[in-house]
Amino acid sequence: MYLVKNLINGEAVASTSGWESAIFNPATGEQIGTVGLSSKDEVNAAVAVAKAAQPAWGATSPAKRARVMFTFAALLRERADDVAREISREHGKTHDDALGEVARALEVVEFASAAPELLKGEFSRNVGPGIDTHSERQPLGVVAGITPFNFPAMVPMWMFPMAIACGNSFVLKPSERDPSAALFVSELLLEAGLPAGILNVVHGDKSAVDTLLDHPDIKAVSFVGSTPIAEYVYRRGTDSAKRVQALGGAKNHMIIMPDADMDQAADALMGAGYGSAGERCMAVSVAVPIGEDTATRLVDALKPKVEALKIGPSSDSSAEMGPVITAEAKNRIVSLIDSGVEQGAELVVDGRDFSLQGYENGYFLGGSLFDKVRPDMDIYKTEIFGPVLSVLEPQTFDSAVELINEHEYGNGTAIFTRNGDAARKFSMGIEVGMVGVNVPIPVPVAFHSFGGWKRSAFGSHGIYGPEAVHFYTRLKTTTTRWPEGISQGASFTFPS
């Protein structure tokens, strides 16, 4: 077994708190490591290091900061397989899926490499007689990120490359369930030339989270996780006068119009619903075919595909889906499937009793498919975060849109159709932050920003992209006059 340490001031430092959390291999159920959980004093020490290092980094030219990001991007490409193995070992997702995670993270690093362009200010000459005005974006100081288990490398890299490129220092608290990937990529950034103390990693539980949220030297906090915790982080952080962006849960719907290519739609639902065992905030967990005939065709197309899912450990290159993250997660998903059956949904494919030879103690589930789901059922209202797809059958396009708009979450959604009018009406009228048209998982590319609506996100800024520049900087505007001649005396009217 191995011990995962903190990364403070460029050095690996073991926590001395005496608190630890076990790390398991989800494919086998065996403990493979331990992570030390930091005390309040250890978190405070990391913040102090970040605060001391930030002024010099903030004064470093954006071009030099960008060069570090360019080198970091090159190292990520070179070490992508290694990063993916770190992800799969503790999370359980397939190697190819983990490589996809690294690729999407790399996009953000590449965008952060454009810091000189992103941080350019504005200038106006002669706004008044002999008066010029310019504006600039300045770093906040020390900022923090609190990240989830489902994307242990990508989500941290949705945060710290942009924050650091903008001139801030960063304290990262990754998930204690799979902390090694975040630590690995942080060490790569140091290898790329980032000065010690600018990026620090502390592992911990709620105590560490609360310490970051309350700390007066932390100016902004980014969070991704469940909605109840996102709301908690937002309220506690803003009560401490911090900027907070807190991304929460989701219940993502995909409308299938009668004119859609049914094979294409079914294949899209397979990847979007069962990829990464459904442990994605952008997973499609609700299929919404319009009309009874469309629903019948869709379920008939999905059933054999779900039954044929290739499930295995990350070491199996042919596996399409791995285990869920913990035994507790597996039990919770099973209990929700049980509730769907009890409440009257039709369980077309039952994945509860799946067992993989040689991995009987792993946290594997088969894919489950429900038909005849109603909006009052727990499997519809709750974010299951597992390999479960529900099919609802509204009779009209308008009723499907109303169904989606009435849900408390508004993270992502999609429509599959050949009809441009329907697609345009959908994208304009749907109350969801990210929309796909014949694209099942509409995660924006890095030069746009990611963000949901309603109870899927708290705070006024999306994550990464242009929104990140505004979140991690503050605006300063300077008005300049170089007077000539003799003073004309004081003026007591408002300047114009």
List the catalytic residues: 281
CA 292 vs CA 110, 122, 255, 281, 486: distances in Å: 46, 56, 13, 29, 85
Instruction: HSE, CB side, 13 Å, CA atoms: give it for residue 259.
Output: 9
Whole-number Å distance between alpha carbons of 472 and 142 = 10
CB 379 within 8 A of CB 371: no
Q: What is the rounded (10 degree) CA torsion for 433, 438, 441, 445?
A: -70
- The tokens describing 263, both together, are 């094979």
Strand, coil or helix: 145: strand
Residue 2 phi/psi, 5-degree rounding, is -120, 165
Whole-number Å distance between alpha carbons of 199 and 8 = 8
Closest CA to 265 of 239, 290, 240, 236: 290
CB 380 within 8 A of CB 409: no
Measured at the alpha carbon of residue 41, what is the angle toward residues 35 and 43, in degrees to the nearest 5? Answer: 55
Report DSSP state, residue 332: H
State the first-to-last Cα distance of the chain, in angstroms, to the nearest integer.
69
Other CB atoms within a 10 A radius of the CB of residue 378 amount to 15
Strand, coil or helix: 285: strand
